[in-house]
Structure 1
Amino acid sequence: MDIFRCIQFIQTHLKLTFDQVDRWFDKDNKTLNYQPANRGWTVQQILEHIYLTNFYLLILIEKGSKKAMRNYLNLDLNLEIKNYSFNQGKFEKVGEYSAFEWIRPEHMDPKGSLNSDEIRGLIAQQYQQCLHYLDLMKNGEGLLCKTTMTVNELGKINVYEYIYFLSLHAQRHLTQMKNNELQIV
């Protein structure tokens, strides 16, 4: 897939994923606060975790987009575009719940300091930020900066792939929230 189809694909993925995440905020309190049998996170905690993870990923995405735009002055964008092919397959496992062990940093653990309305608003803002970066780098500039992603040994990924990773991370937790809901008696 070329970079322009990749950008469109990521925009669509973001829309579908963030719409699904947003619908969880409309669930009743029983669903939002149900403690699963395995003592895992409640849906409310998962939603806060999605927000926190997005927050930290967006810091890296912002830095990457700025560097990519600076690199545009010194690197051959046309050559990068010509040689790029989006390897969607290498990211697939990121969106699958329990597909591999994922050790997250403690600062991405939910603290319970935000209510549902606050988290919902912040996640909506994060979605808009992602769209902003995709629009800012609509000509392929996001290829001009790569950053190492250690999760599932993804290695060096470009700014677009970081945004896709963010969306896949949220998708991963959609399954977890559905699993919680299915346990409610």
Structure 2
Amino acid sequence: MIPEDVIAEINQKLETAFAQLDDWFAAPEAIRRYHPADGGWTIDEILEHVALTNHYLLILIEKGAAKALKNAHGLDLATELDARQSARVRLDEISQPGAFKWMRPDHMAPHGLKSGPEVAATLRQQLHQCQAVLSRLPNGEGVLCRTTMTVNELGKMDVYDFVYFLGKHAERHLAQIAGVATEYQAQSR
């Protein structure tokens, strides 16, 4: 059995990251729309990017969860759990801006097509979707499907690691948002 604390840890990281993302929607518009000097994204654009990326990650996560539950009928869960090797150390690097090189696909770039409240609602729905996936895989079934992740050359990851990745990606962009906010504060003095 996958330790309950692993699922609880993933859920806690998700709740913390998504709550912090949600807090930024209450920030003054001037901060959220500030363009950094390096030409990077505004906070609103970063939030939209996180929601877009989550959309595509959740497609893979949902497919993986469905396949894992189907595989539970033909694979030995105990054997698969014993053989599980999480890429946790390399997954933790995902939250550190500049820790590795990777170019995001164009379809994950923000285009300003949704309002702040729409992006906020999407992020809240995505958190609930992640939590629903974890609740459907309470006994370790998530190890029964592995999908390739090219970011940071992570390779094959199980469903739990994919959900953890989604949370770490949010943390990465929370650090980026903090940098934009710090620059804004310095510029407005």
> Which range, TM-score by smaller chain?
over 0.9
3-state DSSP of counterpart to 1:179: helix
**Whole-angstrom distance in 1 between the partners of 2:183 and 2:142:** 42
**Partner of 2:22 in structure 1?**
22
Q: How big is the shift at 1:151?
A: 0.3
**Whole-angstrom distance in 2 between the partners of 1:155 and 1:140:** 20
**Whole-angstrom distance in 2 between the partners of 1:148 and 1:60:** 10
1:88-127 map, 5 Å: 88-127=88-127
**Whole-angstrom distance in 1 between the partners of 2:25 and 2:75:** 44
3-state DSSP of counterpart to 1:103: coil
**Partner of 1:163 in structure 2?**
163
Identity %: 43
**Whole-angstrom distance in 2 between the partners of 1:7 and 1:47:** 25
Give the letter aligned to residue 126 of structure 1. Answer: Q
**Whole-angstrom distance in 2 between the partners of 1:8 and 1:82:** 19
Q: Normalising by structure 2, what TM-score?
A: 0.94
Give the letter aligned to residue 83 of structure 1. Answer: A
Q: How far does the alpha carbon of each residue in 1:127-172 deviate from its partner, in whole angstroms, 9 at most, with x for none?
A: 0000000000011100000000010010100001000000100100
Q: How big is the shift at 1:102?
A: 1.9
Q: Normalising by structure 1, what TM-score?
A: 0.96
- Check whether the contact 2:87–2:154 (CA below 8 A) recurs between aligned residues: no
* Length, aligned pairs only: 184
Q: How big is the shift at 1:92?
A: 1.4
**Whole-angstrom distance in 2 between the partners of 1:152 and 1:134:** 24
What residue ranges of structure 1 are gaps of 5+ in the alignment? none
**Partner of 1:73 in structure 2?**
73
3-state DSSP of counterpart to 2:157: strand
**Aligned Cα root-mean-square deviation (Å):** 1.1
Question: Does 4-13 or 42-51 show the bigger shift?
Answer: 4-13
Give the letter aligned to residue 100 of structure 1. Answer: F
